[in-house]
Structure 1
Amino acid sequence: MTELKAGRSLVLRDVAAELSSDEGRDMFHAIGIDAIVCCPLIKDGRLAAMMAVHQDQARDWAPHEVDLIKEVVDRCWAHVERIGAEARLRASEERLRLAVDNAEVGFWDVDLTGDKLIWAARTRALFGIAPDTPVTLKDFYDGLHPDDLQMTAAAFDAARDPARRALYDVEYRTVGREDGVVRWVAAKGRGIFDEDGRCVRVAGTVLEITARREAQDALSELNATLEARVESAVREREEAQEALRHSQKMEAMGQLTGGVAHDFNNLLTPIVGSLDMLQRKGIGNEREQRLIAGAAQSAERAKTLVQRLLAFARRQPLQPVPVNIATLVEGMGSLVASTTGPQIRVVLDAPTDLPPAKADPNQLEMAILNLAVNARDAMPDGGTLRVTASAETIGEAHRSGLPNGPYVRLSVADTGAGMDAETLTRAVEPFFSTKGIGKGTGLGLSMVHGLASQLGGALVIQSRPGVGTNVELWLPQSAGTADTGPTPEPAATMKTSGTALLVDDEPLVRMSTAEMLSDLGYEVIEADSGEEAMRIMAHGRQFDLLVTDHLMPGMVGTDLIKQVRALQPGTPALLVSGYAENAGLDPTLPRLTKPFRIGELAACLRQITA
């Protein structure tokens, strides 16, 4: 055993004569061995295995027999080790293949001596070539993106240059030969040189990096445009804040204007009513009549001013009905032409098949007239005023800011001086005017803006200095049928009899209204509040008609009418208001807007008492 561990062969010619009992003689005899030659295999300094030739009787082994046995043993061990190495190599290659397949890495090998190109299936796929298709170095160069060809070729030349022997490390794009797909590829490799320094081959790996490069490009673009996008976001935020401030300012001005207009209407009601009655009765001499007429004219101008304030505040009492815009525009042609003068050419374009629009015809006529006057003032040397109408359907992100749906667009465009950006942003502010002191109230566009908003539409102004202005009034289409008949005049003064309960918290308003009712033949019972009116009823006073203000301290007019009719069903009632407060109002209640004349009061009473 010592000989074997030392790597020397064991030769026994006669086991019985050469071995003692404790050296294994009995073991050899038990298995029928009387002569043996053992050749050891030493690995890493240790006895790894043995191969033996034996015989069942003593034998004198000749030297050439021992040498033959040793040669056979050496060849056998060499074969066994080669088979093992091949098995291990196959296992290693399989593990490598699995790792490469899972990592989606492709191999490549350029045999420069034999001018051959060896590509794995994955490598072919990166060039858009089928797995079994033969490839050459020309296929490699033909598959490169034109913008990356020169750079990639230079890197390959550097890798096979004996003087440089550079690492082939490059990223390039391929254009698939069969599928035309552009892919980004990362390739790495090295040249292999012989003893003479010649490059015999260049081999390496390729990996698709399309997703990574796209992400890098997106990040680069993001970084490159970050500053611009931040500036844009800041600008949009400032614009939004400015729009919010403007909206809040307009809302605050609207609330203030509406309240002031309501108070003005209460002041104008006794003035307009009293002057109207004085004119109807012909009181005073000719000079006094002229003074009364002048005062009445001023009161009417003040009434119009208050109506414009209410229009801006979106609190004017509207009577929206289906309106035939074509008929309305056509009917205003002569009035617009006479208002603008002979130097301005007026063009009307409103198709007769337009759908009806939801609007108050009287207020809409006033709006068109206001826009025509503005256009005239913008064209002192003459020009063209074009009034057009069309049916439109609004989609997403429309310039009007209105919800999607069908609308009628009414446009009043001029070829005048136009407005700069600063003027345009303030155009609809009340009392803002560029016409100079005493030449305009600054309420024309404000009134149109308020009218459009109150009707559920919008006002859009487009203007350029030196080019002109186009004002668009967008009105919702109406499902009803437009009334093409003439607008009725206020009913004439009538004489009747009966008792009217008049309720108003303003003494002057109550006084002038009582005079009108008396002049119409009514006996008048006055009350300064809804609560006092209910106390009058509780004391048994009878009346045939209820005329009440709406906005009063305590009980409002609509609640008073409900309580009166609960106690005295069917009582005719007229609601009088300084401005339209539609919230909570019964739309069937007859209403009269302050200030009013006796003829307008008579017309309303005729309707509710007929």
Structure 2
Amino acid sequence: MSGNEGEAVAPGEPGGAWRTIMLVVMALLGALVLVALMLTLNNANAQRDRALRLQTHSFEVMILARTLSGTISGSEASLGRYVISGDKLLGRRFYDEWRVAGQQITKLDRVTDDNPEQQKLTDDLRRAYEVRGRELSLIALSTNYHKNDQALARYYQAREAASLGEINRLLDQIIAHERSLLDMRSGEALRSVAQSTGVARVLGAFGILIVLGAIVLGWMTVRALGERAVANAEAEAERQRAEDLEAAVAKATAELLEKEARLRQVQKMEAVGQLTGGIAHDFNNMLAVVLGGLELARRNVGDAEQARRHIDNATEGANRAAVLTRRLLAFSREEALKLEPIEPGTLVAGMSDLLDRTLGDAITVVAHDAGSGWQIRADRYQLENVILNLAVNARDAMEGRGQLTITTECTTLTAGEIGTCPSGDYVTIAVTDTGCGMTPEVLERVFEPFFTTKPVGQGTGLGLSQIFAFVRQADGEIGIVSEPGQGTTVTLYLPRHVGGGANVARQEEQPVAGISAALDILVVEDDPRVLTSTMAALAELGHRPLACDNPLLARSLLGRMGSIDLIVSDVLMPQQTGPEMIAMLSDGYAHVAVLYVTGYAGDANETAFGGHQVLRKPFTIAALEHAIAAAMAAPRGAEPNSIAAE
């Protein structure tokens, strides 16, 4: 009770204490009546809902029994038409309908499992159904062996068989028993609802009396409230001033949030600009190597050794550009993944030689495995690259001398305990160094793309951003603890993978045998330069390529070709995608091998390739040869003439 309510009757007023006591008593009685009324109504609603559920259950049983009767009748009618006509489609329909009847009996047995009597009737029905099935199967077998007269005689005998009458009798008993249950349950529900209604009426009348008494007491109390009018007016004025102050605070808060949002947008645009500038800087450097090497090779074409050296430099620049592209795809979470169960402790132990060679003798690597054999599901090469990146960053922070500790543990997190991680089991990989540590300003920017504290030319700033992308791709979280002069600990939280077999070593890819004979190959590619390059590479390998610069023309070209062994197709093309083109070819080309070529790594995660081989751009002639061999070795449909021969 608030202060205003407690002071509604002035002290010393005659009858004030009595009215207060009566108001409290009536309030308690009203609350009790309300609770009793709610419980009564809830009980009535529960009885009604129970009656509706039982009614629905009974109707379901009766409808299922009627449906079963109709299915059996329809099945026997189909058998009769099959006996008369000998049409095997009618025989197939008889068997299908009879099998459906068996499924309906199973469903009837499941929905009546709460009633022992109905269960007994259902068991008897299943036995009668099986007896009847053997009788009808004998008739169908006779018809199948063209003994129509014998089948017809047996069919007429089966119409008078005891099994059919037993099925009908049991179905009628099931329906009758369920109907009696429905009547009994409905009567009980109606009686319970009527009783609850009577109790509710009594409680309602009592509540009305309480309300009338409260009105009388309230009228008596109103007179005492007049003395409090001035105080209430002053309190209202105070509340109004408080509301005005709250509105002013809310307006100021909204303005601050708007300014903060604009500041965040400016920071985002600054990060995008930094990312774009970093990409342009690195690609310009690599393109300078490629173009310069090719130009020098052209100028020294007469000197084979000089030309080869310049071509090697250009190739190295192009390979570095491809590596940067893969890093950018990993950062944008579009890199194709080969997910497998991995035990991080075992993986770290297997990287010991690689870490020792990479970090040098002055860095001591200590590995602690407390992961209890827990596994994660991730791409092994990406995880190794993440650990190696963290180790290299730690080496640079320690200036090539110190101790690096890699600890794998298992933990259980609650929702929101670490970042955005949901509750569950996680495997942690913590990399700790004894280096210089980071200031709070640097710590806030470590995951920004192309942000680095290293001198120009000694780092791209993609390492930690790649690690961040990998962890988010795995639905995990990353945490960093660092202080200047105290070293740094980077901890990865990766969801635990349960099931899927033991953690085994990777199997080396089995070499695919080369193609010795020349192949007839249709090349579908919309880019004329890529088409020319691919045609030249196939010709260099000794094949007979045919160019197609529009996927919509592929069908007509295949029709004019005498034979075709392989289709090499780009994936993303303006008029039609490669998978769409292959899907629209007729079944007459199901025996032709298919090799997709794509420059977008994200395509390799899709399931729309139908199991066909996928080759990434850019590729070498050796990689193209290997991909062709794999595509030709992959299983595919039979040739049309072999299908016709069967």
Give the letter aligned to residue 568 of structure 1.
Answer: Y
Note if 1:530 corresponds to 2:551: yes
Moved more, 438-447 or 561-570: 561-570
Alignment partners' CA distance in 1, 2:522 and 2:591: 15
Distance 1:565 1:391, change over 3 A: farther
How do 1:43-442 and structure 2 match up within 5 A?
97-99=18-20, 102=23, 285-351=304-370, 353-380=372-399, 382-442=401-461
The alpha-carbon distance between structure 1 residues 100 and 486, as it changes in their structure 2 partners (threshold 3 A), is closer
2:467 is aligned with 1:445:
no
Q: 1:375 to 1:99 in 2, by over 3 A?
A: closer
Q: Deviations over 1:369-406 (max 9, x none)?
A: 22222111111152222222233333211333133333
> Is contact 1:267–1:509 with CA below 8 Å preserved after alignment?
no
Cα RMSD between the aligned structures?
4.9
Q: 1:577: which partner in 2? A: 598
- Residue identity in the other structure for 1:608: A
2:515 to 487, 495, 517: 495
Say yes or no: does 1:568 pair with 2:589.
yes
Secondary structure at the aligned position of 1:400 is classed as coil
What letter is aligned with 1:548? S
CA, structure 1 residues 448+103, in 2 after alignment: closer, same or farther (shift >3 Å)? Answer: closer
- Does 1:601 find its partner at 2:624? yes
AA matched with 1:453: R
Residue of structure 1 in register with 2:576 after alignment = 555
Pairwise CA distance, 1:304: 1.4
- What per-residue deviation string (whole Å, max 9, x for no partner) do you get for residues 24-54 of structure 1? xxxxxxxxxxxxxxxxxxxxxxxxxxxxxxx
Determine the C-alpha separation between the residues in 1 that align with 2:619 and 2:289. 9
Structure 1 or 2: larger strand share? 1
DSSP 3-state at the match of 1:430: coil
Matched, 1:475 2:494: yes
SS of the equivalent of 2:590 reads coil
The equivalent residue for 1:592 is 615
2:162 is matched with which residue? none
Tell me, what secondary structure is at the counterpart of 1:368? helix
Counterparts of residues 444-463 of structure 1 (less than 5 Å): 444-463=463-482
- Quick one: distance in 2 between partners of 1:388 and 1:232? 45
SS state at 1:581 partner = helix
Matched residues in 1 for 2:248 and 2:401: separation?
Answer: 49
Q: Which amino acid aligns with 2:466?
A: M
User: 3-state SS of the aligned residue for 1:350?
Assistant: strand
Considering only CA atoms, is the larger Rg found in Structure 1 or Structure 2? 1
> Match of 1:306, SS?
helix
TM-superposition CA deviations, 1:398-455 (whole Å, max 9, x none) = 3331333333322323222222233223222222211011111111112222233334
Supply the distance in 2 between the matched residues of 1:329 and 1:317 (Cα, whole angstroms): 23
Matched-pair contact (CA < 8 Å) for 1:458–1:473: yes
- Structure number with the higher helix fraction is 2
For 1:140-165, what per-residue CA distance to the aligned partner results, in whole angstroms no more than 9, with x for missing partners? xxxxxxxxxxxxxxxxxxxxxxxxxx
Specify the code of the residue in structure 2 equivalent to 1:554: Q
Query: Identity of counterpart residues, as a percentage?
Result: 32
Q: Provide structure 2 residue ranges, at least 5 long, that are not aligned to the other structure.
A: 1-12, 26-242, 294-301, 634-646
Instruction: Kindly provide the amino acid, as one letter, of the partner of residue 344 in structure 2.
Output: I
Letter in 2 for 1:452: V
Output the TM-score relative to the length of structure 1.
0.54
Q: Structure 1: which 5+ runs fail to align? A: 1-91, 105-221, 273-282
**Alpha-carbon contact 2:513-2:629 (below 8 Å) kept:** no
Count of residues in correspondence between the two structures: 396
For residue 432 of structure 1, what is the amino acid of its counterpart?
F
Structure-2 separation of matches of 1:418 and 1:440: 18
2:512 touches 2:630 (CA, 8 Å); kept in 1?
A: no
Query: TM-score, normalized by length of structure 2?
Result: 0.51
